[in-house]
Amino acid sequence: MKSTRLSVTIVLLLFAYQSSQANDRPFESARTAVAEDDDQVWSFESWSRRIGRERSLTIEPEYSFDPANSVQLELTRKSDRQDGGHEVEIEYKHLFNRLARDGWGWGLSAALSIDRSDGRSARAMDLRLPLSVDFGQITGLGHGSLLHLNAGLHHASGRFSASRAIAFEQPVFQRSLLFAERASQRGEGLTQLGLRHWLRREKFAIDIAWQQRNQAGERGTGWVAGIGWYDL
pLDDT: which is higher, 1 or 108: 108
CATH number, domain at 174? 2.40.160.40
pLDDT one-digit tens code per residue, 89-135: 999 999 999 888 899 999 999 999 999 987 788 999 999 999 999 98
Q: Using an 8 Å Cβ cutoff, are 48 and 57 in contact?
A: yes
pLDDT one-digit tens code per residue, 139-171: 777 778 999 999 999 999 889 999 999 999 999
Domain that holds residue 88: 2-229
pLDDT one-digit tens code per residue, 165-195: 999 999 998 899 999 999 998 888 999 999 9
pLDDT of amino acid 5: 46
Number of domains in the chain: 1
Among residues 208, 199, 209, the alpha carbon closest in space to that of 229 is found at 199
Beta bridge partners of 178: 170, 195
Q: Using an 8 Å Cβ cutoff, are 109 and 124 in contact?
A: no
Q: Give the whole-number percent of the chain exceeding pLDDT 90.
A: 59
pLDDT of amino acid 111: 97
